Amino acid sequence: MGDIPGTGGGMWSMTGPMWMPGQPPTLAHLLGLHLQPIPLMPALGVMLLLGYAAGLVALQRRGGHWPWHRAAAWALGVAALELVTATGVEGYGMMMFSVHMAQHMVLAMVVPTLLALGSPYTLALRALPLGGRPHRLLTSLPRTTVARVVRSAPVRWILFLGSLYGIYFTPAFGSLMHTVWGHNLMLLHFMLTGCLFFGPIIGRGATPPSRRLAESFASTPLHAVFGLSIMMISRPMVTFFDHPYPAWHVAPLHDQAVAGSIAWATSETATVLVMAVLLLRLLRRPADGGSGRRTEAAAVPWHITRRVPRKSH
């Protein structure tokens, strides 16, 4: 896609197969189904939904049961992913900072939170044949050095919170958005780092809920500062959106302020949701003096793990 005369570079200099809307943004245009020529993120959502459904079917065939609210959370997470990548939001997100920020916040905070509530790791452990190679690999994965490093709080904070400032407050944003592939890589990065950040916090691992609650609370100011910084900056923060479509009459600074308010409101809402879930789990902890730790393997149905008695001779 070449530069449009009179509009400069930025969004108009993006390259690669893409669809960019020509009509002014309305709710119907934003939420209407409209796939890109290469719908990478929507395809990922379909794969996540089918994989989860396959796990449910396998578990049911083995006689296991699965809480409906976990499946509902996973389905809502996939629906949120499709909402911002398989609709007009994807196209308008390349042309308006506010729409892009809404897409970013949904992918980085809303989708990972809902997917984590779906407990996919537990489902995989219960659906896979006990003792098989896939089950053994999945069980040993959290104990590997790489997994421990990636799941550590410093690494997760740097990848998730650091990228908020590293992408938008440096030329990295324009470099990534210059091509469709860079744009998709950035969207995938937002989602993966969000899953990496919220997964250990919301997941049902060995870390006490009180510690997870403290970590979630500690991240709140950094989320708020990011959104408020965008709102308060009196100059264009990223030059990519400096030249909006003339017929839309979009003021870049006003649209930037809207983007900041979306970032602030979404991050606060997601953080409150996470803290509410953790607080509820903390209140439901058994008062037996135990640590409340629960391994994912403990979720395997009893009739699958019990030993078969030897025959007497």
Q: What is the pLDDT of residue 8?
A: 46
Domain boundaries, the chain: 36-285
Q: How many CB atoms lie within 10 A of CB 267?
A: 22
With cut-offs at 50, 70 and 90, classify the pLDDT of residue 310.
very low
Q: Express as a percent the part of the chain with pLDDT over 70.
A: 86
Rounded distance between C-alpha atoms, residue 280 and residue 276, angstroms: 6
pLDDT digits (tens, 9 = 90+) for 94-120: 999 999 999 999 999 999 999 999 999
> Which residues, at least 6 apart from 111, have a Cβ–Cβ distance to it below 8 Å?
77, 80, 81, 191, 194, 195
pLDDT of residue 1: 46
pTM of the model: 0.84
Residue 3: pLDDT over 60: no
Cα-trace Rg, the chain: 22
Residue type at 291 in one-letter notation: S
Percent of the chain with pLDDT over 90: 40
Residue 203: which of 285, 272, 122 has the closest Cα? 122
Span 265-290, mean pLDDT?
73
What's the pLDDT score for residue 291? Answer: 40
- Taking only the tens place, the pLDDT of each residue in 110-161 is 999 999 999 999 999 999 888 788 888 888 888 888 888 888 888 888 888 8
Amino acid 285: pLDDT? 65
pLDDT in tens, 47-87: 999 999 999 999 999 888 999 999 999 999 999 999 999 99
| 16-29 pLDDT, tens digit each | 898 989 899 999 99
Summary mean pLDDT of the chain: 83
Mean pLDDT across the stretch 294-312? 40
Residues 255 and 32: beta-carbon distance below 8 Å:
no
